[in-house]
Amino acid sequence: MTADTARTVPDEHRAEVERLREHLCALHAELPRWKLVTWTSGNVSARVPGADLMVIKPSGVSYDDLAPADMVVCDLDGRVVEGGRSPSSDTASHAHVYRARPDVGGVAHTHSAYATAWAARGEPIPCVITAMADEFGGDIPVGPFALIGGDEIGRAVVATLRGHRSPAVLMRGHGVFTVGASARAAVKAAVMCEDVARTVHIARQGGPLERLPQEHIDALHDRYQNVYGQ
């Protein structure tokens, strides 16, 4: 038996893979809905729980044309296990994040305009509003420039997020990568990242910004993560 023929979706994960194909297709529709992507840019992936597998967007397919069957199943080395299309060019980086961060169940990537403008300047977004303290627990950090195609971006995402509570990182000169316990949480972080990037950008046009006191950031983050909601 060759290594290649061993790379199939095991029967016990079949139902979950099919559910994730549908779920990811619906989540990808959120990206244009929140105006986070242009043309085919951006992608979302989800880990298959309990398996060394992930499901990810195919490369270069229009958001309007995406169907559950188009999603590509890869192993955590980024190799295709199942799917008729090539996976996203960021697949190796998503795979690296899942290997390095067992707590991560979903990864999202966009070039959303305001957040990417901060990334173009290589400037972290300072935590100056409660919405940032809630979702990000502090500044949204900047990672180094890394070329697309291999796992360099994934390595830089993991290294930059170490020591931050933020689930989002601005990759210098590129865009936003977010992580979450689920793919939905990663997409939510991408939506919130663009929202606060826009607000803080607008605020700065009117004068200097003042970061919230650390004790308030800590209290807000704790309340939002542990108490807020139903």
Report residue 65 CA to chain centroid gap: 21
Per-residue string for binding with Zn ion, 169-208, x by CB under 5 A?
Answer: ------x---------------------------------
**Least distance from C-beta 175 to Zn ion, angstroms?**
5
Number of amino acids touching Zn ion (CB under 5 A): 1
Q: Whole-number minimum distance, CB 148 to Zn ion, in Å?
A: 6
CA distances from 75 to 7, 8, 55, 68, 158 (A): 8, 9, 9, 18, 19
Site residues for Zn ion, 146-175, by CB under 5 A, read: 175
Q: What is the closest distance, in whole angstroms, from the C-beta atom of residue 111 to Zn ion in the complex?
A: 6
Q: Judged by CB, which is closer to Zn ion: 87, or 175?
A: 175
Pairing of strands 168-171, 142-143: parallel
Taking the C-alpha atoms of residue 127 and residue 134, their distance in angstroms, rounded to an integer, is 10
Pick 145 or 224: Cβ nearer Zn ion: 145
Radius of gyration of the chain (CA): 18
Q: Residue for token digits 């790379």? A: 7
Residues that bind Zn ion (CB under 5 A): 175
